[in-house]
Amino acid sequence: DVKVTQSSRYLVKRTGEKVFLECVQDMDHENMFWYRQDPGLGLRLIYFSYDVKMKEKGDIPEGYSVSREKKERFSLILESASTNQTSMYLCASSLWASGGNTGELFFGEGSRLTVL
Amino acid sequence: AQTVTQSQPEMSVQEAETVTLSCTYDTSENNYYLFWYKQPPSRQMILVIRQEAYKQQNATENRFSVNFQKAAKSFSLKISDSQLGDTAMYFCASIKYNTDKLIFGTGTRLQVFP
């Protein structure tokens, strides 16, 4: 059974703390993504990575950074958490679209972060 | 730029009935894919159905079917014989062919009542 696993389902952090959200996939996918999900706003792309050590900014990268040291692992980092980063964070992976794939995403269960 | 619009924040349907969720999109591309994803409460998002824009035939997956109107840039999802397990957030999404980034709509929360 293929899986995308996010390390924490629920986190509570304080303003100014550094936060790490970890994501691991076992499908040997090239692409990995971090989305933020907020009511009424849908899913917004924060960052994505198409290869190890490669990353591209999505639509809302401000206040976030990412790390991809290994193909299966993609980390989202909040350098100094703020209350407006309270949200649900979804990790996803996919095969390269240029390989003839259709871009289907496989999602983790999500990490709900609350910043106090 | 691609955009995806879902104008129904919430919908409800009785078990065994049929419901249609609306989606419109805007793109200047000729080749693209459209998707419907389902996010059950507290569970991970999964793909429900996929449509290639170059195919005129509407995609069907069991009780789920789409009405793809390319000229109108409309892509609605029809759920037949609704089941309690269909209760979920449904997201419409699009992607340009040979690219890797999906664009999502804002979602429709569907509640199926017994």
Nearest alpha-carbon partner for B5 in B85, B103, B88: B103
Range of the domain at B44: 3-113
CATH number of the domain encompassing residue B84? 2.60.40.10
* A45-100 pLDDT tens trace: 999 998 898 999 999 999 999 999 999 999 999 999 999 999 999 999 988 766 56
Which residues on chain A are in Cβ contact (under 8 Å) with B21? Answer: none
Contact list in B for residue A43 (CB cut-off 8 A) is: 91, 104
pLDDT at A98: 64
> Cβ distance B95 to B37 under 8 Å?
no
Distance from CA of B44 to the nearest CA of A (A): 4
Q: What is the pLDDT of residues B17-64, one digit of tens each?
A: 999 999 999 988 888 899 999 999 988 999 999 998 888 899 999 999
The number of domains in chain B is 1
> pLDDT category, A101, cuts 50, 70, 90?
low
Q: Which residues of A21-60 are buried (b: 16+ CB within 10 A; e: fewer)?
A: bbbbbeeebbbbbbbbbeeeebbebbbbbbeeeebeebee
Q: Domains in chain A, please, with CATH?
A: 4-98+105-115 (2.60.40.10)
Contacts of B44 in chain A (CB under 8 A): 4, 107-110
